[in-house]
Amino acid sequence: MKTITLRIDPAKPDPETIREAATFLKSGKLVAFPTDTVYGVGADAFNEEAVDRIFAAKKRDVNKPLPVLIAQKSDLQAIAKDQSELLERLASEFWPGPLTLVMLAKDDFPGRVRCGRETIGVRMPANPVALKLIEAFGAPIAASSANLSGFPDPMNAEKVMEYLGGHIDLILDGGPTPGGVPSTVLDISVHPPVVLRQGKLNSLKLQRAL
C-alpha cells in the first residue's frame, strides 16, 4: 500500500483537501492528521473493518479501547447514553481542548471501538485541521496516536510516515504539533468522577468545575 501525504495549512485548512481526506474516511481508509497534542490516526468509528485496521497498523492491543473524536457537542447524541448536566457543563467549559471524558456509551454505539466495554472516551481536539476533518466527515472518528504501540508519539508527518507508512492511506501534513503532555482523562460514568490520567488540563480548573 502506498501512503499519500498532503500538505495542509494548520491554521486555515484548505476545504478541498479536507473534503478529500473525509472521502478517504468514508471509504473505510485510515487518515493521519495533526491534533492539539500529537498526530493521530483515525477511521470511521462505525466501520468495524476500518477500526480493525487501526489496531493492526499500530500493533495495538486488541482489547484496549479506542477513544473517539468529535467536532461539536451535538455529536454526543450519537455516543452518550446519558446527556447529563455534568457532561454538558464540562464540554462547554473545556472543549475544544485537552480533556477526554469517559462516559457510558449508547447500546448501539460500535462495540469494536470500545472493545465490548460499557464506556467510551470522547474528546474534541483544539486543532483546526482535526475539527474541519471530523466536521466534513460528519460523524465521530475513532482515533489513536499515529505511532506504533509502545513508541514515542509522533509530532510531525515525517515521524508518522516512519511509523505507519505503507499501513495507512493518507497523512495530512499540518506541520509540527505541540506534543508534550497528553489530554487529561476524566471518567464521568462513575460518581464521584475519577481522573484516570492527569494530563495537560490544569487540575485546579477541573476541580473547580467539578
| Strand order across the 68-69 sheet | 4-7, 170-173, 31-34, 39-44, 141-145, 68-69, 119-123, 99-104, 184-187, 194-197
pTM higher than 0.85, yes or no? yes
- Looking at residue 171, what is its pLDDT? 98
Q: What is the pLDDT of residues 114-170, one digit of tens each?
A: 999 999 999 999 999 999 999 999 999 999 999 999 999 999 999 999 999 999 999
- Looking at residue 199, what is its pLDDT? 85
DSSP-assigned letter for residue 59:
T
Region of residue 107 (phi > 0: left; psi between -120 and 50: alpha; otherwise: beta): alpha
DSSP-assigned letter for residue 7:
E
- Residues in the chain with pLDDT values less than 50: none
Q: Residue 78, Cα to own-chain centre: how many angstroms?
A: 15
- Looking at residue 66, what is its pLDDT? 96
- Looking at residue 164, what is its pLDDT? 98
pLDDT, averaged across the chain: 95
- Looking at residue 58, what is its pLDDT? 98
- Looking at residue 47, what is its pLDDT? 97
**What amino acid occupies position 13?**
P
Region of residue 140 (phi > 0: left; psi between -120 and 50: alpha; otherwise: beta): beta
